[in-house]
Amino acid sequence: MLLDSKIPEGPLAEKWEKHKFNVKLVNPANKRKYDVIVVGTGLAGASAAASLAELGYNVKAFTYHDSPRRAHSIAAQGGINAAKNYQNDGDSVFRLFYDTIKGGDYRAREANVYRLAQVSVNIIDQCVAQGVPFAREYGGLLANRSFGGAQVSRTFYARGQTGQQLLLGAYSALSRQVAYGKVKLYTRSEMLDLVVVDGKARGIVTRHLITGEVETHAAHAVVLATGGYGNVFYLSTNAKYCNATAAWRAHKKGAFFANPSFTQIHPTCIPVSGDYQSKLTLMSESLRNDGRVWVPATVELAERLRKGEIKATDIREEDRDYFLERKYPAFGNLVPRDVASRNAKQMCDEGRGVGSSGLAVYLDFADVIKRTGAEAVSQKYGNLFAMYEKITDENPYELPMRIYPAVHYTMGGLWVDYNLQTTIPGLYATGECNFSDHGANRLGASALMQGLADGYFVIPYTIGDYLAQIPPKPVDANHPAFAEAKAFVQARTERLLSINGTRTPGQFHRALGHIMWEYCGMARNAEGLTHAKAEVRKLRNEFWQDVKIVGSGEEMNQALESAGRVADFLELGELMIDDALHRNESCGGHFREEYQTPDGEALRDDENFAYVAAWEYLGDNQPERLNKEELIFENVKLTQRSYK
């Protein structure tokens, strides 16, 4: 199938403006005749649902949480980028565009990224109008900070809880539309399949997580805003419920999955403390503005630290290696995430890691505390320091934090065109759920920006173009496709319940995560990936013979929920490996050990791999078909990323 990205003609800076004029409009009186399903109520979903309802569409919003406000966007800490140039430090729409394309290691679509940078400025205005309490200066104007991968100060923030405040803004807009009756809210409802009628997305199947009831819902269009798939790795900074099921079900119904191997490993997370660990906690990247990353200069010192014979503060200045500052003098501790993560791993591989496991490096605030005082540091990072202390029982005002990279974000996702439509007409994907804007590596504070850009300012225009072309007649919910999809979901649930094996869903999930982290994590090679593919396949077979769940499907059954999600992760994991294996280059978060520069940096192959890999599902146990969308760069020059 030919992938048509539908990028509008014309100069980069005019594409979106022109496109907004060219898209068809739905007559205001007709808007109420169209139903739109939005799955997910995080930043991308809540903003889309609210904005579409404001326009007059009938929206049905679904979340598996007890409230829309619990979506994992809430946990985003550091901030949101916008090209406001309030700081007079040389920022512009083009610079944000350029930084994002470069940060993504030239694997994102120029037109989408430029649009993202353009609408970024509107997002801040919108959130302020909603009453989002961003950090402010004494003069009453909005404050900014800098963030990894950028040399301008363009990040807006609300202490270390920016995601929470932005989500509560979107949630309030959504709640207002619920009160008006324009959004019907379905909580504790998990999407388990997509309904496709005559090649078009026409509805979904959900399971109510308290009653177990399986329901079908019809609409003229479906928007998936269901987040990323980082939990394939079991341990990640994602919330426990985050999963790929909605996107994966859509994929199996015909939506291509793009660049699944592009996963982001965040450099600053609290290290694993034991086998029982259920999730990892991020320490915001903003900490790298003031924290200095280091390891001991020698393996001997690192060993003594690991044994607990000495403390970090016992190590003299000349015995410390501030390796990011040493290797990247221009960006220092603010290099992009992929670079910071790989370097931390390298230090630990050299035997200079700290903490009892040796899988950690220090993030030290002693200098900034000396310079500005503990109070000023607390103003900026108080909640993060408190969280760190709760988890580790160590006081970061006195001892440097121990950090290690962890899976945090997935740049890959459902393939979408410029309109955010997937390869299934009528099915859209927004936010982390799609692949579109971050290439092979996402810059800090850009996830919130993308989620809200898609939901507030892109989908309200582009979905109208689709709806205007279909008649405003109710969708026939009695079409056999609905009953079929429902029967499929029920049969799958029955099958999971009937296995009655010996291993819990959690055990399978951990086993999968171990394979993925080991072979498809921060560094990958062909041999390891080939081995991992066989292992994942074996695990998947075992899962369907040996998984153990008790109870029934007609009640609240968290083990059953988990089993369904793990089953999909087992399939997606294999596709991630296939994608990583086929991409014979290193770029961004995808680091293939065979392809690196002499000094260990990622070595891209623009001649052969400057494309989006969009995988097409062809049937169970069949290899997926690779479709390519060539990436054409007309406005930036492809260079080797250098942060030195």
Q: Which residues participate in catalysis according to the annotation? A: 337
CB 379 within 8 A of CB 337: no
| Minimum distance from residue 63 beta carbon to other proteins (Å) | 11
Interaction between residue 382 and other proteins (CB under 8 A): no
| Minimum distance from residue 119 beta carbon to other proteins (Å) | 10
**Nearer to other proteins among residue 491 and residue 550 (C-beta):** 550
The 401-430 contact track toward other proteins, x by CB under 8 A, reads ------------------------------
Rounded CA gap, 502 and 496, in Å? 13
Spell out a b/e string for 432-445, using b for 16 or more CB atoms within 10 Å of the CB, else e.
bbbbbbbbbbbbbb
Interaction between residue 258 and other proteins (CB under 8 A): no
Interaction between residue 264 and other proteins (CB under 8 A): no
Interaction between residue 75 and other proteins (CB under 8 A): yes
Q: Edge-to-edge strand order for the sheet containing 263-269?
A: 263-269, 401-410, 361-364, 292-296, 320-321
**Nearer to other proteins among residue 126 and residue 423 (C-beta):** 126
Q: Tokens in use for 248?
A: 């994966």
The 175-194 contact track toward other proteins, x by CB under 8 A, reads xx-xx-----x-x-------
The 112-131 contact track toward other proteins, x by CB under 8 A, reads ----------x-xxxxxxxx
Residue whose structure tokens are 């990640």: 236
Interaction between residue 307 and other proteins (CB under 8 A): no
Interaction between residue 556 and other proteins (CB under 8 A): yes
List 62, 147, 331, 457, residue binding other proteins (CB under 8 A): 457
**Nearer to other proteins among residue 298 and residue 383 (C-beta):** 383
List 158, 221, 467, 610, residue binding other proteins (CB under 8 A): 158
- Could you write out the three-class secondary structure of 592-642? ECCCECCCCCECCCHHHHCEEEEEECCCCCCCCEEEEEECCCCCCCCCCCC
Gap between the terminal Cα atoms of the chain: 42
Interaction between residue 282 and other proteins (CB under 8 A): yes
Q: What number of chain residues touch other proteins (CB under 8 A)?
A: 82
- The region of 59-67, 258-266, 312-320, 568-576 touching other proteins under the rule CB under 8 A is 59-67
> Which stretches of 292-385 are assigned E, i.e. beta strand?
292-296, 320-321, 361-364
CA distances from 540 to 232, 480, 571, 625 (A): 13, 31, 8, 21
Torsions phi, psi for 169 (to 5 deg): -65, -50
Interaction between residue 605 and other proteins (CB under 8 A): no
CA distances from 589 to 105, 156, 266, 410 (A): 9, 25, 10, 9
Interaction between residue 142 and other proteins (CB under 8 A): yes
| Minimum distance from residue 356 beta carbon to other proteins (Å) | 10
Q: Quickly count: other Cβ atoms within 10 Å of residue 235's Cβ.
A: 21
Residues whose CB is less than 8 angstroms from the CB of residue 399 and which lie 6 or more positions away in sequence, other chains included? 311, 312, 313
Interaction between residue 277 and other proteins (CB under 8 A): yes
**Nearer to other proteins among residue 452 and residue 612 (C-beta):** 452
Residues whose CB is less than 8 angstroms from the CB of residue 626 and which lie 6 or more positions away in sequence, other chains included? 582, 613, 614, 615, 616
DSSP assignments along 383-433, one per residue: HHHHHHHHHHS--TTTSPEEEEEEEEEE--EE---TTSB-SSTTEEE-GGG
CB 188 within 8 A of CB 208: yes
Rounded CA gap, 98 and 91, in Å? 11
Interaction between residue 546 and other proteins (CB under 8 A): no
- The region of 19-27, 60-68, 395-403, 624-632 touching other proteins under the rule CB under 8 A is 60-68
**Nearer to other proteins among residue 68 and residue 203 (C-beta):** 68
Interaction between residue 172 and other proteins (CB under 8 A): yes
Interaction between residue 380 and other proteins (CB under 8 A): no
Interaction between residue 25 and other proteins (CB under 8 A): no
- The region of 18-26, 50-58, 328-336, 415-423 touching other proteins under the rule CB under 8 A is 50-58
- The region of 44-52, 190-198, 358-366, 635-643 touching other proteins under the rule CB under 8 A is 44-52
Contacts with other proteins in 383-402 (CB under 8 A)? Answer: 386-387, 390-391, 393
**Nearer to other proteins among residue 108 and residue 117 (C-beta):** 117
Q: Tokens in use for 175?
A: 């709640």
List 47, 245, 286, 446, residue binding other proteins (CB under 8 A): 47
| Minimum distance from residue 256 beta carbon to other proteins (Å) | 29
Contacts with other proteins in 500-519 (CB under 8 A)? Answer: 502, 504, 506-507
Biggest CA–CA distance in the chain, Å, is 75
List 29, 198, 278, 307, residue binding other proteins (CB under 8 A): 278
CB 62 within 8 A of CB 38: yes
Interaction between residue 10 and other proteins (CB under 8 A): no
Interaction between residue 478 and other proteins (CB under 8 A): no
